[in-house]
């Protein structure tokens, strides 16, 4: 007999295989989007929190998670939980180094700090040459979660994962 | 606040976000520079996402078998209850920025209240997410107001003309009807008189920094919240809704 704890652990194992379609080197768990796996009315429920209201990847991620977990739990449900709102503070530390390796400056510090919100008053080091001489080109980037920066030292443009 | 009024409040929040999101999405591929193209498209994406959240909630609450798409694509112009400002055409870049500036100042204050109220936890959840996005929209618009107002003679004149033209659409934000009053009474919506002070302070401070003049109130437009719109909304909806209305069973 498989216990509930074992079933939940098995689902977690499958959830951990799902990657963010826009940041494919990161899993949705590393992104802090998985709020939990629980047993409700004898059914496994995976709770996900979207990063941005309009993030087009949210639907794809829900489907990917559903497909992954249903290989071990055919009746499993995926629910989207909006509250509490996702924050960059939930991104796991393992994601930070992976972001840098892929040329994205990870979020800096706690999102609660007002100064980080616009990327002003905060030094965002270049993920390529590590120089702190960088400037923001635009608060909006190629995806909802990123801002555009440039490095004044090595002159490379790079993206910064916004703190929200 | 009746159940019907509660539902109407959620729909209005969705309508504001969808109409402006649809308008802004028309800038995609037409922005004056690449960064602005991306910024306006990102803003559109945030707003359409917020609209989806409010519509999904409204559809679940009304329990009539409708979903977010039916609320967006199968309601007529008279059923939309967005503020008139949001349906005004994009015009030139300055017009779009002024529209965004006026609305973001309002939406940010409103959303902050919605995220804190304890009457409707699901609305608070959507708002808590949205308020972080609206902060970016406000910053972006406010920075452009300063750059255009305190820029060249031409940019100053053009953006002042946009402000003078769109000002008459800002009165509606603070014109409480029965639904607003009931929502405020119940603690779900902010008191619009209090909101007006916060909005004026935000807008006036930025306009002063931008060396722009804050217009006097004259004839102020109204009617959007009651479904009486300017002609622009109907054309916009015709374009937005034509595909699902022509092929109601289409999926992708």
Number of domains comprising chain B: 1
Give contacts of A144 with chain B, Cβ < 8 Å: 42, 45-46
Per the structure, how many domains does chain A have?
Answer: 2
Q: Which of A88-97, B24-33, B230-239 has the lowest mean pLDDT?
A: A88-97
On whether residue B132 sits in a domain, the answer given is yes
Q: Which tens digit of pLDDT belongs to each residue from B90-123?
A: 999 999 999 999 999 999 999 999 999 999 999 9
* Residue B224 forms part of a structural domain: no
Confirm whether A85 is domain-assigned. Answer: no
Domain membership of residue B172 as a residue range: 3-216+229-246
Which chain A residues are closer than 8 Å to B10 by Cβ?
none
CATH number at residue B158: 1.20.1260.10
| Tokens 């991620």 sit on residue | A61
Q: Complex ipTM, two decimals?
A: 0.79
Give Dmax (Cα) for chain B. Answer: 55
Note whether A75 and A104 are same-domain residues. Answer: no
Assign residue A56 the CATH number of its domain: 3.30.300.130
> Could B136 and A56 be called an inter-chain contact, meaning their C-beta atoms sit closer than 8 Å?
no
Q: Are residues A10 and A57 in the same domain?
A: yes
| Inter-residue contact B146 to B205 (CB < 8 Å) | no
- What angle in degrees, to the nearest 10, is found between the helix axes of B153-166 and B121-149? 140
Same domain for A52 and A22? yes
Residue B235 lies in a domain: yes
- Residue A48 belongs to a domain: yes
Task: Identify whether the C-beta of residue A32 lies closer than 8 Å to the C-beta of residue A48.
Answer: no
- Each residue of A36-79: pLDDT tens digit? 999 998 899 999 998 888 888 888 999 999 999 999 999 999 99
**B residues 52-111 near A, CB within 8 Å?**
52-53
How much is the average pLDDT of B14-31?
Answer: 97
Which of A41, A61, A80 terminates a domain? The answer is A80
For residue A18, the enclosing domain spans 4-80
Q: Touching check for B8 and chain A: CB below 8 Å?
A: no
- B-chain residues near A81 (CB < 8 A): 125
Token pair of A26, please?
């990161």
pLDDT given for residue A115 in this prediction: 52
Do A12 and A65 lie in one domain? The reply is yes
């Amino acid at each position: 007999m498989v216990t509930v704890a074992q079933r939940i652990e098995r689902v977690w194992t499958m959830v951990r295989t799902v990657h963010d379609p826009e940041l494919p080197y990161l899993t949705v768990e590393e992104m802090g989007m998985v709020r939990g796996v629980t047993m409700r009315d004898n059914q496994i429920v995976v709770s996900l929190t979207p990063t941005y209201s309009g993030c087009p990847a949210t639907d794809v991620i829900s489907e990917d998670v559903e497909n992954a977990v249903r290989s071990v739990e055919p009746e499993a449900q995926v629910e989207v939980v909006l509250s509490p709102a996702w924050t960059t503070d939930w991104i796991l530390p393992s994601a930070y180094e992976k972001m840098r390796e892929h040329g994205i400056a990870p979020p800096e510090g706690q999102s609660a700090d007002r100064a980080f919100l616009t990327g002003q008053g905060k030094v965002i080091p270049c993920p390529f040459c590590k120089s702190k001489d960088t400037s923001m080109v635009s608060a909006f980037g190629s995806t909802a979660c990123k801002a555009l920066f440039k490095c004044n030292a090595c002159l490379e443009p790079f993206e910064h994962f916004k703190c929200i | 606040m009746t159940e019907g009024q509660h539902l109407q409040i959620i729909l209005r929040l969705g309508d504001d976000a969808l109409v402006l999101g649809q308008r802004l999405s028309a800038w995609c591929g037409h922005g004056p520079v690449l960064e602005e193209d991306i910024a306006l498209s990102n803003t559109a994406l945030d707003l359409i996402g917020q609209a989806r959240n409010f519509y999904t909630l409204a559809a679940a609450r009304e329990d009539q078998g409708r979903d977010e798409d039916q609320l967006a694509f199968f309601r007529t112009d008279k059923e939309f209850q967005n503020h008139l400002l949001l349906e005004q055409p994009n015009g030139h870049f300055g017009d779009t920025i002024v529209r965004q500036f006026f609305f973001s100042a309002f939406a940010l204050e409103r959303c902050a209240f919605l995220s804190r109220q304890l009457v409707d936890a699901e609305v608070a959840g959507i708002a808590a997410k949205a308020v972080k996005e609206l902060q970016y929209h406000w910053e972006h618009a406010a920075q452009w107001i300063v750059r255009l107002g305190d820029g060249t003679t031409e940019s100053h004149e053009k953006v002042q003309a946009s402000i003078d033209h769109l000002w008459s659409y800002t009165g509606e934000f603070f014109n409480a009807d029965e639904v607003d009053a009931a929502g405020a009474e119940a603690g779900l919506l902010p008191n619009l008189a209090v909101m007006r002070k916060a909005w004026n302070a935000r807008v006036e401070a930025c306009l002063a920094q931008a060396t722009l003049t804050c217009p006097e109130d004259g004839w102020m437009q109204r009617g959007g919240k009651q479904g009486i719109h300017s002609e622009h909304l109907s054309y916009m909806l015709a374009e937005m809704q034509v595909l699902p209305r022509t092929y109601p069973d289409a999926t992708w």
